[in-house]
Structure 1
Amino acid sequence: MSTAADRLATEGYGPENLPYASFSPTGGEHRLGVRLGDRAIDVAALAAAVEGLDDAARSAASAPDLDALLAAGHGTWTALRSWLVEVVTTDGLDEAVAASSYPVEGISLHMPFTVADYVDYYASEHHASNVGKIFRPDQAPLLPNWKHLPVGYHGRAGTVIPSGQDFPRPKGLRPEPSGIPSFGPSRRLDIEAELGFVLGGAAAAGEVSLERAAAEHLFGVVLFNDWSARDIQAYEYVPLGPYLGKSFASSISLWVVPWEALEAARVAPPAREHALARYLDDEGRDPWGLDVTLGVSVDGHTITHPPVSTMYWTAPQMVAHMSVNGAGLRPGDFFGSGTVSGPEADQRGSFLELSWGGQEAFALPDGTEMTFLQDGQTVTLTGTAPGPGGSVIDLGECTATILPAT
């Protein structure tokens, strides 16, 4: 006798992880899948072969993506995950799992959920401080509000795109030394290496507490590259914030790691410098910093490893902040952490920081020097977190290639 986990699991994709995706086999329809090793399990097919799911979980498992599961709420997605873990770790069910699965290399992945609202935050102190030093060298790096609330903005949900979808260099008005802007392709196209958070359940009246955010609404995480046209953004953002410089594309990875899979990756966030407002105050509560390490590569060359554990603001705090004014939550709401950077030069999560505002070219391992992205370059984000018992949680990859402007 053996279990499916014994037979199929690989490092990063064991029963501790079981990330979700929307996938289709060659010529087949979209279906909800879970990854175990190098296999994508058709959840509906497995539910037809193995008993144990209630009607709500069985219905959600039969959907082509995560939308139904996110709408069903925390009780249903917890029941489905518990059943999946039990099935893949129970002796004698390995044949049923194998028969319900497909090789990962032979499937197509699709957007795993429909993005409802999208919010982007600015939660990394090292990133925010670096940006302040670059743009405001004669002032304090952080503005007075930064350590009192998680700064964010409401972005464009319609241009959150799947990993692997390439896009043209964006165009807009660019600042010029004369003071008269020029229109054309961005000259300072950048990445933002982030962690993205997928929300489920509904809170129509808002005001979601830290405890409810973690226990009821945070469904899972993805890798997130919130591409940024720095020159377009610099000209347009005063006084209302970024628009065309940010709204052209934001890429997400396609395997959604369940929130429960990150239990072993929880760490305390950095010490708070100021007492926080009651709705944000996490002192004495269970910590929700995350020990996730990102990797950024350009054309296959790794250039930086931003550590999510250094982020000042946590995911539950960001949920509490986005809803404290009465703004409701909907299934499929999504938010990004903002660029993740650490204290070291090789932990910076944007080219803006790596090149220090374009003033200092940095070198790829093959000797290529660059400041911002060039047409034809491919950027890939990866990420890992510790799992229980010394295991590893792999977050997959988020990738895209920059095409010439139209």
Structure 2
Amino acid sequence: MTSSPIPYGRQQIDQHDIDAVVAVLGAEFLTQGPVVGQFEQALATYCGAQHAIAVNSATSALHIACLALGVGPGDIVWTSAITFVASANCAIYCGASVDFVDIDPVSYNMSVPQLREKLETARKAGKLPKVVIPVHMTGQSCDMQSIHQLGQEFGFKIIEDASHAVGARYQGKAVGCGRYSDITVFSFHPVKIITSGEGGMALTNDELLARSLRRLRSHGLTGNAPEMDPRPEDELWNYQQVELGFNYRITDIHAALGLSQMRHLDDFVRARNDLARRYDELLVNLPLSTPAQASDSYSSYHLYVVRLSLPQIRKTQKEVFRELHARGIMVNLHYIPVYLQPFYQRMGFARGQCPEAERYFKEALSIPLYPGLTREAQDRTIATLSEVLQG
């Protein structure tokens, strides 16, 4: 009997989640109703942020976050070389250009020394970024205090791409509190920590940014009188389009699932940490390196990334990947350096720009990690890794 494949990640849905969605299907509002606001308030309260704006994806949240901070043609946005393409695409959507910062070889987050060096070079050339987007890779916070200090020194705004990191903590506070950034973005894709099916959220402590984000997610519309242009007193103007926005609204159906999942957020993160610690202990003798965790951070462990010691294994990363898949261990790669994607190479980006990111790319694999991963499935993953790497 063939064992079922073990995915690298998957959602955890219970009957309460299903009932919450069904309840909305029988309610008055399927979209633009009260459940969206309840989901927003729940996450804002959890994170200690003043405002939360739910949208239909983290990609949408990144886009309108850039727009709310005034990113447009002629501006430059920097992000990490190792991230999903959306972290960079959001700048292109705004007509801005994008560039990449190399990663730290231990955390895989944006390297603060590399960021400083790049900023000093850019200042001399008169090409400083308007916005920097650090990415909390795998669920561990970047060194946000240092990045914030650089923002004060070099004059850029900060969007935390915390798509991996809902439920994580940094310096004892929830990621999303906004202590060291202007806007924080979360993702609720099914493989993330909690899910709304598809969905994202932008958190901020700036009321003006929050107003802008709300307008931008819904066609640039407002019904708030102080934001509206004067019109003849005998005409009915209960809303106006005051800027170009988008249809990035999340439905109450999706929000109901996300709100229900909030009940388990801490439990999910705790389970991921428990599984990660067990991997740390049981993979110690294999020819690979396990993830390092900073002392001032508590990771949400969206991903568990190992780096292969290729000279010891005498196989390529691709060969290991294929052999594991053939045995039903559905490892993945997070991520290819964004600037190596064909779309970005056609802009003139080339190999060699971020050497550490490229070394990571050739060695990294994400192995199965999710709250529903059983001890048996984790043991099978470890045993199969051992067979493939030492066989």
Q: After TM superposition, is the score higher than 0.5?
A: no
TM-score (norm. length: structure 1): 0.25
Which of the two has greater helix per residue? 2
